[in-house]
């Protein structure tokens, strides 16, 4: 079975956690003791029905306030597919958590309250989904029972969100009317809305195609080296293998590859998973590659297709979400940049603009980026990086920034384009990297 990762999005009280709880309950993914504990907790709060949001809202502060604060991950499977759910918070204060939860998602599940429709936080989360390159969006118009299952109200909200998706460049969304509290159109189709002829939510999630877009053709190999294996045993005195997870493409014995950084060319001699030799391995597989030639390779190097290599660059533009509640991002500061398995020093040269996700506009040249703010920056790395634009490859097109003194992660970033180099005579004075 293949795997679908999806993230929830939407405003506070739109019912994201309740919907996830209902999905897990109706697919019989909740253990009896867990369900009994939720029933007791709900009764102690004076509720007539089980509060399904308790399944994902596990922090004490979340239960006290009735909101989601941190990203909660849940796993389940049906006979057709496996799923990983990232239940993300809806409050604007926790935008960074939503970015984290959606960063690895294949699909965004956006909820709106049928009574309020599309609001600013809906626009914010749709904009983030577009920024993160999520190709599939499902809009669940929740709490249809509170508007008497009215088809005109559903049609109005569907038109609002479809227009928003068009502005953001999102693929036309699938829109489903649901009641998470009562379970309508979650796992099975509801009799309460005979006018709706589309699939229930689970039906859609089981069938949606999240494979790589076919018009691009086969992806070239991208393999960040995580660890070098040298057992140096009597049985294998000359063994040298490179362990890691394939970020893109396919590894085949005999395929010609290039080693980055550098300009070395060689061929793959063996592809191994565990101790078993494989005829091929694909993106997502954790493997060991062995090469025909002995080349100085260590953690942080990347093995790529020789026919379609990556052109390293040290100056580039990127979109970042600032994650730090401490100091804001200001031009001129140095950070560690971690890209795949490689870490290099870098300097943020300038902040080009800030994304106003409420108005869907870019504000030019802000002085700084504060917590939860998103902007486009120009960065110079001390060493060239083998990256690709995020729109081409989410694995090799993403990175994080780490504070050089506290070693805390302060930003999540997405490579956009290679930036033109400045004259060499200006580098030593301005960037402190030496001449």
Q: Tell me what pLDDT residue 1 has.
A: 66
Mean pLDDT in residue range 124-142: 89
CATH for 3-211, options being 3.40.50.720, 3.40.50.2000, 3.30.420.40, 3.40.50.300: 3.40.50.300
Q: 290, 340, 344: which is closest to 314 by C-alpha?
A: 344
Look up residue 126 and give its two tokens. 């749709």
- Residue 256 CA to residue 307 CA, distance in Å, equals 8
Does 102 or 321 have the greater pLDDT score?
A: 321
Give the residue among 261, 271, 272 at the shortest CA–CA distance from 299: 261
What average pLDDT does this structure show over 169-196?
93
- CA nearest to 320, candidates 301, 297, 337, 303: 337
Q: Tell how strand 136-142 and strand 174-177 pair up.
A: parallel
Q: What pLDDT is recorded for position 56?
A: 62
**Burial tier of 416 (Cβ tally within 10 Å: 0-12, 13-18, 19+):** middle
Contacts of 205 (CB under 8 A, 6+ apart): 4, 6, 81, 83, 107, 138
Q: What is the DSSP letter of 419?
A: P
For 125, list phi and psi in degrees, rounded to 5.
-70, -35
**What DSSP element (H or E) covers 183?**
none
C-beta separation of 25 from 52 below 8 A? yes
Residue 424 — very low, low, confident or very high, per pLDDT cuts 50/70/90? very low
Taking residue 330's Cβ as centre, other Cβ atoms within 10 Å add up to 11
Predicted pLDDT at 432: 35
pLDDT tens digits along 326-370: 899 999 999 999 999 999 999 999 999 998 877 788 899 899 999
Q: What is the DSSP letter of 219?
A: P
The CATH 3.40.50.300 portion of the chain extends over 3-211
Q: Is the pLDDT of residue 399 over 70?
A: yes
DSSP β-bridge partners for residue 418: 316
DSSP state of 63: H
Q: How far is CA 118 from the centre of its chain?
A: 23
Is cis: bond before 261, omega within 30 of 0?
Answer: yes
**Which of 122-134 are b and which e, b meaning 16 or more Cβ less than 10 Å from the residue's Cβ?**
bbbbbbbbbbbbb
- State the average pLDDT over residues 159-167: 93
The model carries a pTM of 0.80
Which fold, 228-305?
Elongation Factor Tu (Ef-tu); domain 3 (2.40.30)
Buried b vs exposed e over 260-279: b needs ≥16 C-beta within 10 Å?
beeebebebebbbeeeeebe
pLDDT mean over 248-272: 94
Question: Among the listed ranges 16-20, 76-80, 264-268, 366-370, which one has the minimum average pLDDT value?
Answer: 16-20
- Average of per-residue pLDDT across 293-315: 93
> 3-state class of 424 per DSSP?
helix
CATH 2.40.30.10 in the chain, residues? Answer: 228-305, 313-431
- In a 3-state reduction of DSSP, which class is residue 344? strand
User: How many degrees, rounded to 5, is the angle at CA 89 between CA 83 and CA 91?
Assistant: 155
Q: Which two tokens stand for residue 394?
A: 């989410």
Report the Cα–Cα distance between both ends of the chain, in Å, rounded: 54
Is pLDDT of 53 > 90?
Answer: no
Confidence of residue 176 (pLDDT cuts 50, 70, 90): very high
- Yes or no: is domain 313-431 CATH 3.40.1260.10? no
Q: Which is higher by pLDDT, 121 or 233?
A: 121
Q: Does pLDDT of 143 surpass 70?
A: yes
Residues 278 and 200: beta-carbon distance below 8 Å:
no
Asked if 242 and 288 count as a contact pair (C-beta separation under 8 A), the reply is yes
When pLDDT is cut at 50, 70 and 90, the band that residue 214 belongs to is: very low
The yes-or-no verdict on residue 384 having pLDDT over 70 is: yes
Q: Report the pLDDT value the prediction gives residue 68, as an integer from 0 to 100.
A: 42
Mean pLDDT of 30-39: 68
Give the pLDDT score at 410: 93
How far apart CA 245 and CA 185 sit, in angstroms, is 38
User: What is the rounded average pLDDT of the residues 207-232?
Assistant: 80
pLDDT band at 249 (very low <50, low <70, confident <90, very high): very high
Q: Does the pLDDT value for residue 321 go beyond 70?
A: yes
Q: What is the pLDDT of residue 199?
A: 95
Asked if residue 231 lies in contact with residue 261, where contact means CB atoms within 8 angstroms, the answer is: no
Spatial separation of the C-alpha atoms in residues 278 and 272, rounded to whole Å: 6
The predicted structure's pLDDT at residue 422: 59
Per-residue pLDDT band for 230 (boundaries 50, 70, 90) equals confident
- For residue 10, pLDDT over 90 is answered with no
């Amino acid at each position: 079975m293949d795997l679908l990762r999806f993230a929830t999005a939407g405003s506070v009280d739109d019912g994201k956690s309740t919907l996830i709880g209902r999905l897990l309950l109706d697919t019989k993914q909740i253990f009896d003791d867990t369900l009994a504990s939720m029933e007791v907790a709900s009764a102690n709060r004076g509720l007539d029905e089980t509060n399904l949001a308790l399944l994902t809202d596990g922090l004490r502060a979340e239960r006290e306030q009735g909101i989601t604060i941190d990203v909660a991950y849940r796993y389940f499977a049906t006979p057709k597919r496996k799923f990983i759910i990232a239940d993300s918070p809806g409050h604007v204060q926790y935008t960074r958590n939503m970015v984290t939860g959606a960063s690895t998602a294949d699909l965004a599940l956006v909820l709106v309250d049928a009574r309020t429709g599309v609001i600013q936080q809906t626009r914010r989360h749709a904009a983030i989904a577009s920024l993160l390159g999520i190709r599939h969006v499902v809009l669940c118009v929740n709490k249809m029972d509170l508007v008497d299952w009215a088809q005109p109200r559903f049609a109005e909200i569907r038109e609002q969100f479809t227009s928003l998706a068009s502005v953001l460049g999102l693929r036309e969304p699938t829109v489903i009317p649901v009641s998470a509290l009562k379970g309508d159109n979650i796992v099975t189709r509801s009799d309460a809305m005979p006018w709706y002829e589309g699939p229930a939510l689970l039906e859609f999630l089981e069938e949606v195609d999240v494979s790589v877009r076919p018009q691009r053709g086969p992806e070239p190999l991208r393999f960040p080296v995580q660890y070098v294996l040298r057992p140096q045993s009597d049985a294998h005195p000359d063994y040298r293998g490179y362990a890691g997870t394939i970020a893109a493409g396919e590894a085949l014995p005999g395929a010609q590859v290039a080693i980055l950084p550098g300009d070395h060319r060689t061929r793959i001699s063996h592809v191994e998973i565990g101790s078993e030799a494989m005829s091929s391995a694909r993106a997502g597989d954790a493997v060991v590659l062995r090469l025909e030639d002995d080349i100085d390779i260590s953690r942080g190097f990347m093995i790529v297709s020789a026919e379609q290599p990556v052109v390293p660059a040290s100056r580039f533009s990127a979109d970042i979400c600032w994650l730090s509640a401490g100091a804001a991002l200001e031009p001129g500061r140095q950070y560690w940049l971690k890209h795949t398995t490689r870490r290099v020093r870098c300097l943020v040269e300038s902040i080009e603009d800030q994304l106003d996700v409420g108005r869907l506009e870019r504000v030019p040249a802000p002085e700084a980026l504060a917590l939860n703010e998103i902007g486009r920056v120009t960065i110079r790395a001390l060493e060239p990086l083998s990256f690709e634009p995020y729109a081409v490859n989410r694995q090799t097109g993403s990175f994080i920034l780490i504070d050089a003194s506290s070693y805390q992660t302060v930003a999540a970033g997405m490579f956009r384009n290679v930036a033109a180099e400045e004259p060499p005579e200006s580098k030593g004075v301005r960037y402190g990297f030496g001449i």
